[in-house]
Amino acid sequence: MTSNPSPSNSCRFGGCTLTGALSITSHVCDAVTIVHGPKGCTHHNFSLLHATAMDSESVRIPEIFSTGLMETDIIFGGEKALDLTLDSVARLDPAAVFVLSTCITETIGDDVRMVCSIPRGFPIIPIPTAGFLGGPFQEGVNNALIALAEMAGQATTDGGVNIIGEKNLEYDVDENFIEVARMLDILGLPVNIRFVHDLDTDRISHLGAARLNILRDPALVPVGTSLLHRFGTPYIPSFPVGVSGTAAFLESVAGACGIDCRRALDEEQALQEEMFCDFADLAGCKVYLDPAMTDPGGIHVVRELAGALKLDVTPTGCRVPVPLDPPVGIAGMRRMLHRWRRAIHA
Amino acid sequence: MKQIALYGKGGIGKSTTSANLSAALSLQGLDILQIGCDPKRDSTRMLMHGNFIPTVLDLVRERGEAALSITDVVYTGFHGIRCVEAGGPEPGVGCAGRGIIATFQLLEKFGALSGDVIVYDVLGDVVCGGFAMPMREGYAQEIYLVTSGELMSLYAANNICKAIKRLSMRAKSRCRLAGVICNAKNEPREEELVTEFARRVNSALVHFIPRDRIVQIAELNRKTVIEYDPGCPQAQRYRELAARVMENTRFAIPTPLEIHDLESLAIEFM
């Protein structure tokens, strides 16, 4: 893992399918999530979500309930416990309820889908999330997004763009969104909905109204494909990362929407030049980029930036922090370069 | 205290054999506890004169574990034999195997696992770790396979050999194959076949119980053969079985057969 204890360097995506799905459903503000399993599965995940929300200075406590299964529920089946929990959350008058399964309930074969199909006056959406089946965090994210998309009907296009699958647990989630929204604004494209980040259930119905979906990263391609089939909305597979990645992003968004991106490219290039000037003092410094911390595509983005600033990348150089995900836009690159400067001058 | 378990294919006559064995052992003056480890809960019915006793898991479900004591789960039947039924969830839900584990923990807590002999009557096959519970943690140390000469019955017995072999290799495990009981269908050369099967899996035929209408007649009268007609030849067979079980010292780690060996064995004795 990482030797840098900064919150931005802690990996929050190593959990199981359940954690991934919770990172999405807990961001539907007026909905309730039930985790069907022993209470510990809920407790550990709640702790992670709570700590992460505190980092982001958010005080909204997600509504997550456990069916609190005990041994007798496992022996005789846990469907009744789920039924009772659905009864008790009904009193909260939720806009929707998500029911997430756990390892033990999938093992004993509880028919969660059957229990969820009994009408109760609010939508109940089951999402299979048993971690032991091997699905990683990302599969939980994707399953949850695809299940939530089922709630949206067809809508007429309003010209906006959806942001799909933001990493709600990442430290820079809002900064990254602001950066993407800024670039879209230069292109004259408003954001339709953030699917899903602090979203109300009634806004989910607008999902199909966008002219384009922008995925947080390529791991969400199954979600992008599902939305393409369902609403006919094309997608861009990633946020803008790094120097050339940002230009490519602007070009592909403009291409997908049939608009001219020359002005946006010029503005972005000017901002990049400004950034290179601001960090010109780093030229010639010997640095070492720890490649263990990111994927090969990500390290390529970071190397490109180091090259543009004429840094000397060598194994004997000063070890500089490389984020788990490649930096998003100018703002992301600047944040990373500030950390590099601090490391070099430390 | 001797702890034995009977395993075998569903419908092969484990419960009949267990109940008559328990009855015969009891009449030798031994203190017997029979535990039915099958959600079908009918292991001890003939010892209880046709009554289905409340199962441990039904009681846990209805009253909660905290409200139970040993007198709620142990029932006295024929000749003072103490009877327990583990029970299980409704068919098609939950986890019966975990139910067996929970039952054993509760019986242990109550100190109910006592007497001269405990007979564990376990369902058809060792379908999961829960149903291997009687073989684990030093409960039943002597496993008897109940089989006829039919291939499917031998196949199930052979599978149980695999479970015994696996479990007997664990550190501190005392679970061993004690022998094969042939509950016959009265097929030709059946005794020879089962004797040879037992030898090939590194064990021995403990006793041959022929098929006899008296078993059905006794059951219709809600009794074991031992109780219903102690003078009949079948009752004598069960008493002989009881004597051989008590004398038995041949406890082995089984050598299960491959399926084609099992098939050619069956063809040999056709």
Question: Would you list the DSSP string of A97-111?
Answer: EEEEE-HHHHHHT--
- pLDDT tens digit sequence for B212-222: 999 999 999 99
Within a domain: A225: no
Could you confirm whether B212 is annotated as catalytic? Answer: no
The whole-number pLDDT of residue B150 equals 95
Kindly provide the ipTM of the predicted complex, given to two decimals.
0.80
Domain of residue A22: give its range.
7-149
CA distance A335 to chain B (A): 52
d(CA A316, CA A310): 16
Within a domain: A128: yes
Ranges A7-21, A31-45, A97-111: which has the least confidence: A7-21
CB contact burial A89-108 (16+ within 10 A = b; e otherwise): beeeebbbbbbbbbbbbbeb
Co-location of A12 and A142 in the same domain: yes
CATH number at residue A115: 3.40.50.1980
The single residue listed with the structure tokens 């800024």 is A182
Instruction: Sort residue A191 into left (φ over 0), alpha (ψ -120 to 50) or beta.
Output: beta
Give me the long-range contacts of A7-11 (CB less than 8 A, separation at least 24). A7/A55, A7/A171, A8/A171, A8/A172, A8/A323, A9/A293, A9/A321, A9/A323, A9/A324, A11/A324
End-to-end CA distance of chain A: 22
Assess whether pLDDT exceeds 80 at residue A28. yes
Of the residues A132, A149, A166, which one is the last residue of a structural domain?
A149
d(CA A88, CA A93): 10
B contact residues 74-93, partner A, Cβ 8 Å cutoff: 88-90, 93
Residue A131 bridge partners (DSSP): none
Residue A174 one-letter amino acid: D
The whole-number pLDDT of residue B138 equals 82
Question: Would you list the DSSP string of A188-199?
Answer: T--EEEEETSSB
B170: phi then psi, degrees, rounded to nearest 5: -70, 150
d(CA B182, CA B190): 8
Sheet containing strand A212-215, edge to edge, reads: A191-195, A161-164, A212-215, A235-236
Residue B208 bridge partners (DSSP): B182
pLDDT band at A329 (very low <50, low <70, confident <90, very high): very high
Domain of residue B148: give its range.
2-268
Q: Which has the higher per-residue pLDDT, A97 or A59?
A: A97
A114 shares contact with chain B (CB less than 8 Å):
no
- pLDDT tens digit sequence for B4-57: 999 999 899 999 999 999 999 999 999 999 999 988 899 999 999 999 999 999
Q: Compare CB distances from B99 to A75, A78, A107 and report the shortest one's residue.
A: A75
Assess whether pLDDT exceeds 80 at residue A19. yes
Q: Is B239 helix (H, G, I), strand (E, B) or coil?
A: helix
Q: Are B28 and B166 in contact (CB under 8 A)?
A: no
Angle at A293 between CA A289 and CA A297, to 5 degrees: 80
Within a domain: A263: no
Average pLDDT, chain B: 94
Could you confirm whether B9 is annotated as catalytic? Answer: yes
The four Cα atoms A169, A175, A177, A178 give a dihedral, to 10 degrees, of 160
Q: Compare CB distances from B98 to A74, A109, A110 and report the shortest one's residue.
A: A74
Assess whether pLDDT exceeds 70 at residue A106. yes
- Does B61 sit within 8 Å of A77, measured CB to CB? no
pLDDT band at A189 (very low <50, low <70, confident <90, very high): very high
- pLDDT tens digit sequence for A231-286: 999 999 999 999 999 999 999 999 999 999 999 999 999 999 999 999 999 999 99
pTM of the entire structure? 0.85
The tokens describing A296, both together, are 């090969």
The whole-number pLDDT of residue B124 equals 67
Within a domain: A195: no
Pairing of strands B205-209, A286-289: unpaired
The whole-number pLDDT of residue A2 equals 43
d(CA B54, CA B138): 26
CB contact burial B73-84 (16+ within 10 A = b; e otherwise): bbbebbbebbbb
d(CA B53, CA A48): 48
Number of CB atoms found within 10 A of residue B188's CB = 10
pLDDT band at A225 (very low <50, low <70, confident <90, very high): very high
Q: Of A309, A308, A333, nearest to A322 (Cα)?
A: A333
Given a cut of 70, the residues of chain B with pLDDT beneath it are 124
B100 shares contact with chain A (CB less than 8 Å):
no
- pLDDT tens digit sequence for A273-308: 999 999 999 999 999 987 655 577 788 889 999 999
A150-175: average pLDDT: 91
Q: Of B31, B27, B46, B111, nearest to B85 (Cα)?
A: B46
Of the residues A149, A176, A201, which one is the last residue of a structural domain?
A149
- pLDDT tens digit sequence for A146-161: 999 999 988 888 889 9
Q: Which has the higher per-residue pLDDT, A132 or A346?
A: A132
Of the residues A149, A169, A202, which one is the last residue of a structural domain?
A149
pLDDT band at A3 (very low <50, low <70, confident <90, very high): very low
Chain A residues within an 8 Å CB radius of B57? 75-76
Within a domain: A222: no
- Does B57 sit within 8 Å of A77, measured CB to CB? no
In chain B, how many domains are there?
1
Could you confirm whether B125 is annotated as catalytic? Answer: yes
Within a domain: A69: yes
d(CA B183, CA A318): 79
- pLDDT tens digit sequence for A133-150: 888 999 999 999 999 999
The DSSP symbol for A120 reads -
Chain A residues within an 8 Å CB radius of B98? 71, 74-75, 108
Chain B residues within an 8 Å CB radius of A75? 57, 60, 88-89, 94-96, 98-99, 102
| In chain A, beta strands by DSSP E | 32-36, 64-66, 97-101, 124-127, 161-164, 191-195, 212-215, 235-236, 286-289, 312-313, 318-320
In chain A, how many domains are there?
2
